[in-house]
Structure 1
Amino acid sequence: MKSFEDILRKNNLKITKGRLALLNLLYSSHVPMNTEEIYEAVDKKSLPSFTSLYRMLNELTEKNILKKNLYHNGLYYFEFANMGHRHYIVCDKCGKISAIENCPISEFENIAERETGYTVTNHIVELRGICPDCQKDK
């Protein structure tokens, strides 16, 4: 992946410690993170306020550097936009999120286009269940 500085420059965004810390955190994460999780994990010297975090997330999403991928428990979850097309399964008990790498929806999109005349531009699928750890706790 390009350096975060190059990504910010290319998108005419100022290179700041906060943006770099945010991008590094999300790049290191294997699953999308919500605003509260990001704020909890990021260095407060680099990103001192929720207001700054929200502003950065919105800017980076508008520039298609990040994407809002899930809407769970009233919260949006963010990840890098170029991480590929993935879906997730969310545990109903503990909230753990796991990625599902393969997407079987393309055939369904073709059917939907044929039946409706629409051109499918995107889809969002969220599966819910009980994770293996919570199943053990029964």
Structure 2
Amino acid sequence: MKDFEKLLRDNNLKITKGRLAILELLHQSKIPMNTEEIFAEVDKEELPSFTSLYRILNQLTDVGIIEKNLYQNGLLYYELRDKKHKHYIICEKCGKISAIENCPISDFEKEASIETGYIVVDHVIELKGICPDCQNK
């Protein structure tokens, strides 16, 4: 279990039940979660409104504790920022999200940097497909 209280303190954020609840939920999730999923899962005494949820997500994103990883069907998905870089594939039929642990883009980033003179700082890749469950229907 991560020490979320220390993480908040280190980023000059007040330790609140709402922040801790969101961090714990994202820590337990194996895939990114959207705001609706987070709000449905968290205790309403700790996080009573969507307004509070959006404010906390923005604060945690601004200081780099969490990141927006996907944008699907008009919804942003959030996850804890981790040292391990991941991508995801999304089923176009059922919306299931699966992690892809291996990222082959580093060589392409080097080539793009040499070709353009840019320093590549990040990339986003969204893969879509049909999951095995939907293929078997």
Shorter-chain TM band:
over 0.9
Q: Structure 1 pair 102/63, CA: closer, same or farther in 2 (3 Å)?
A: same
Shift of 1:120: 1.0
Superposition CA RMSD, Å: 1.1
Where does residue 7 of structure 1 map in the other structure? 7
Structure 1 gaps, min length 5: none
Task: Give the secondary-structure state (helix, strand or coil) at the position aligned to 2:77.
Answer: strand
Q: Structure 1 pair 47/83, CA: closer, same or farther in 2 (3 Å)?
A: farther
Task: Give the secondary-structure state (helix, strand or coil) at the position aligned to 2:127.
Answer: strand
Shift of 1:8: 1.0
* In structure 1, C-alpha distance between the alignment counterparts of 2:50 and 2:66, rounded to whole Å: 17
* In structure 2, C-alpha distance between the alignment counterparts of 1:2 and 1:43, rounded to whole Å: 20
Where does residue 88 of structure 2 map in the other structure? 88
Task: Give the secondary-structure state (helix, strand or coil) at the position aligned to 1:104.
Answer: coil
Name segments (4+ residues, structure 1) moved above 2 Å.
none
Where does residue 133 of structure 2 map in the other structure? 133
Structure 2 gaps, min length 5: none
Shift of 1:11: 1.2
Matches within 5 A, 1:12-91: 12-91=12-91
- TM-score of the aligned structures, taking structure 2 as reference length: 0.96
* In structure 1, C-alpha distance between the alignment counterparts of 2:59 and 2:105, rounded to whole Å: 30
Shift of 1:2: 3.8
Q: Structure 1 pair 91/83, CA: closer, same or farther in 2 (3 Å)?
A: farther
Aligned length: 137
Task: Give the secondary-structure state (helix, strand or coil) at the position aligned to 1:5.
Answer: helix
Question: Identity percentage over the alignment?
Answer: 66
* In structure 2, C-alpha distance between the alignment counterparts of 1:62 and 1:114, rounded to whole Å: 30
Task: Give the secondary-structure state (helix, strand or coil) at the position aligned to 1:121.
Answer: coil
Shift of 1:45: 1.1
Deviations 1:36-63 (A, max 9, x none): 1100111111101000000000000001
